[in-house]
Copies of this chain bind each other. A is one copy, B any other.
Amino acid sequence: MSSEFGKILRISVFGQSHGRAVGVNIDGLPAGEKIDLEELQRFLDRRRPGRSPLSTARRETDMPEFLSGLEDGETCGAPLCAVIWNSDQHSSDYAELRDKPRPGHADYTAAVKWDGHADMRGGGHFSGRLTAPLCIAGGIAKQILARRGIRVGAHLASVEQVQDIPFPPRPTGELFAALAAKPFPVLDDGAGEAMQAAILAAKNDLDSVGGVIECAAVGLPAGLGDPMFDGVENRLAAALFGIPAVKGVEFGEGFAAARLRGSENNDPFAVENGRIAAVTNHAGGVLGGISTGMPIVLRAAVKPTPSIGRPQKTVSLSRGENAELTIHGRHDPCIAHRAVPVVEAVTAAVLLDLLLEGNHGTF
């Protein structure tokens, strides 16, 4: 287990889906930062389920309780620990699953790794519920970044075959705020309706769909990140692959860059209002691992929810023979839209860590 990331800002996530609580310990937060708890709660509510037919009926209030590090609404330098108490679990739903690993879930690998001792009720520590404490950390990071003019936002770029329009070359904090206020986080609401239709179609087929999330950050200064293996891309990718179901991460043009020519993919530099900037941003704000000062742009691919209502082929671990499994209980036909704030959260946490480390290229 290494449910931690970060260099100066260390974020440790704990808890199991059906345990006593899920939570996060954040070590290295700067002191004296006011945290707006209502704003934080609004951020947490964006990933909360139970609000639409698109997600599970599990009622999670996701209200954090702060055990340390926050006094009178302000960070105090000491590690900040916050928990969300669990409730409303239906653990009996998961009895059969101890023996029959669900395809696409970590049940089998967890069984191998912890030799049958893992608490896998509701997915245990692998559950999407662990993204709630990640959002506590990320929501706090977002507030601290915003105070320095750095804004992070994301939208659902695609679901199954349906595509949203991409971010404009220079997204703004206002655009991010507008997205955050939408019940379904897309730039083109028509595409959003088509996505929701695709999700419901999958649900009706007792199936599920995946999606791609595009995230951007504006206002980050140039010069952050250390090549070759401690750069902006290395750190973001390492953290983003920690979000359950993420199977791909790309920056700027990403995989599409492999189909472009150099003359198309290179970003010319120009002097704008006395400052040097790239005219385009195919690089997604990173060259040689170091931030260029342009928006950081990344995409994360989220696979379709492995829990589906159809019978699936698996094995019985105890009997060592083939078996069939039908997953009962609640599960989302798509988690990509709920993962949008999670990608924002992880991105914000990594960028705050980079900002705290600073540019020590000279001194």
Contacts and interface: CB of A to CB of B under 8 A. Distances in A.
Contacts of A16: 68-69, 71, 76, 78
A27 B10 contact: no
B12 A103 contact: no
A250 B315 contact: no
A3 B227 contact: yes
B77 A315 contact: no
How many copies of this chain? 4
Contacts of A21: 67-68, 81
**Among A22, A23, A363, which residue has the most Cβ atoms of chain B within 10 A?**
A363
A235 B238 contact: yes
Interface residues of A, number: 155
Contacts of A304: 257-258, 260-262, 264-265
9 contacts: A3-B79, A3-B228, A104-B267, A105-B288, A106-B288, A229-B239, A247-B257, A263-B310, A270-B322
B258 A242 contact: no
A202 B243 CA distance: 39
B113 A266 contact: no
A45 interface: no
Given A5-B229, A269-B314, A258 B212 contact: yes
A306 B23 contact: no
A109 B287 CA distance: 7
A77 B255 contact: no
Interface stretch (A56-64, A171-179, A182-190, A353-361): A353-361
Given A16-B76, A247-B251, A247-B284, A312 B109 contact: no
A15 B81 CA distance: 8
A110 interface: yes
A38 interface: no
A168 interface: no
A152 interface: no
A191 to B, nearest CB: 14
A237 B124 CA distance: 25
Nearest to A246: B233
A83 B41 CA distance: 24
